Amino acid sequence: MLNIGNAWIDDNTSFEGMYDYYWTHALNSDETNEGIKKYCDYVTRNFSQECYKYQGQGDGEYGEIDIYSIYAPLCLDTTQKSGTTGSISL
């Protein structure tokens, strides 16, 4: 049995899935989703100016979040504080 996990299929499948993910998690509006579905042909790779417009709109709508962890608070500070080890105390 071959397990490929979360494999990258191709750019088009990945981008289409990304915008579906945004919409199904309320990160994009219905209008944006409808525009992407109408103007972006991921099968033939036909991306019109309208497609790019709606994709750009979709990229801007989800705001300042980590799209890979949408329910966690955004952590912008990656520096370690003085005297901390990064371990969790119980």
Domain-located, residue 89: no
Amino acid 39: pLDDT: 95
- Say if 3 falls within a structural domain: no
Asked whether residue 2 is assigned to any structural domain, the reply reads no
- In angstroms, the Cα distances linking 74 to 6, 32, 35, 62, 77 are 24, 24, 28, 13, 9
Residue with tokens 């790779």: 45
Q: Evaluate whether residue 39 is within a structural domain.
A: yes
pLDDT of amino acid 64 = 87
pLDDT tens digits, 4-54 = 556 666 677 788 989 999 999 999 999 999 999 999 998 888 889 999 999
Task: Tell me how far apart the terminal alpha carbons of the chain are, to the nearest angstrom.
Answer: 41
Task: Give the separation between CA 70 and CA 82, rounded to whole angstroms.
Answer: 29
pLDDT of residue 59: 93
Q: What is the C-alpha to C-alpha distance for residues 56 and 43, in angstroms, rounded to an integer?
A: 20
